[in-house]
Structure 1
Amino acid sequence: MASYADHGSVEWVESGGGPLIAIPEGVLPFWTGADGDELATDYDRACDVDGFIGLLPVGNATALVLGDDPSATAYLPEHDTFVRWCAAESEVEVLAGVPAALDAAAWEGEVHWEIPGTVVLFDAAWPGNEAGRAGHLRITLDPGRYAVRAAYAEPGPETWLGLVQLRRLAH
């Protein structure tokens, strides 16, 4: 897989081929990734998520799985959105396409995600206590309940993006 990390204006997280997962920071030690003696590992649970997004219990919290595509992913706080780089010639094209993609997206059904605050996005194959050794993003979010929706959009003829948008819900 090509590395997008050198392109510079935002940080990207990549996976080795499976899903990415956003886990509340306080429960990272409970995520075992692909490690373990169990027949079905935490990584297997993440791979079983059908579609663009899903929720999995981790410790006493819930993690958000970004499934379906192992694309490099960044979080754009100005849009409250995870952007997944499916196809584009450059990071500039990806970022320039985000507003049009958000406007034209055909959103799938949403899920509701309760989080205690900061989450860490990383390759679901890694154990949570090793997420800092792998490529990861630490995303500061206000504690609370969020509506999460996902879509795939093509804002340009050769620019294809996955979008996972968060919207904080009122109490």
Structure 2
Amino acid sequence: MVRYADPGALEWVESGGGPLIAVPETVLPFWAGADGEETASDYDRACEVDGFVGLLPVGDSAALVLGDEPASTAFLPEHATFIRWWAANSEAELLAGVPAALATANWGHEVRWEVPGTVVLFDSAWPGSETERTDCLRVGLEPGRYAVRAANVQPGPETWLGLVQLRRVEHG
């Protein structure tokens, strides 16, 4: 697989061309990826998500689809944000733009995502039971409900990044 993100401070996940998906670890075996006997695979369902983020049922939970274009993606726990590398000369340049990007983002529609805990980010074409064979990133989340919002931001003349921010919300 071609890697677009330079090795650096963060662990980056890439796809073979389709969307990335964050599946709760407890329901990973229920994600069939591009495999399956159905006329529309789980991967097909992920590709149909319109916009920057969307939710798909998986087992008794839901997976978060990072839509739009495929991009190298990492997670910044200090901002509870997935960052998507659209353009930058280096990881350092991209990360330097994150504070300005968060401050100036024009956030899109929020979705509410209920998670039972840790999620695994990977290429939606892969079955969840085979994530150890591909790029994946385990993201420790506290169980609960999150408001998820996304934006594409240009914090510098040659730096563009996508943001998918998770904000914990109370039930009610």
The normalised TM-score by structure 1 is: 0.97
Contact 1:5 1:11 in 2 (8 A): no
1:136 alignment partner in structure 2 = 136
How many correspondences in the alignment? Answer: 171
2:28 alignment partner in structure 1 = 28
Identity, in percent, stands at: 72
2:65 alignment partner in structure 1 = 65
Contact 2:146 2:169 in 1 (8 A): yes
Offset from partner CA, 1:86-124 (integer Å, 9 cap, x none)? 000110111111000011110001000000000000000
Is 1:94–2:94 an aligned residue pair? yes
Query: Which runs of no fewer than 5 residues in structure 1 stay unpaired?
Result: none
- Partners of 1:119 and 1:128 in 2: how far apart? 11
- Partners of 1:151 and 1:72 in 2: how far apart? 15
- Partners of 2:7 and 2:97 in 1: how far apart? 16
How far residue 37 of structure 1 moved from its aligned partner, in angstroms, is 2.1
Q: Where do 1:68-87 residues align within 5 Å?
A: 68-87=68-87
- Partners of 2:57 and 2:152 in 1: how far apart? 25
- Partners of 2:4 and 2:141 in 1: how far apart? 24
- Partners of 1:114 and 1:30 in 2: how far apart? 17
Query: 4+ runs of 1 displaced by more than 6 Å?
Result: none
How far residue 6 of structure 1 moved from its aligned partner, in angstroms, is 4.6
The normalised TM-score by structure 2 is: 0.97
- Partners of 2:92 and 2:136 in 1: how far apart? 21
SS at match of 2:98: helix
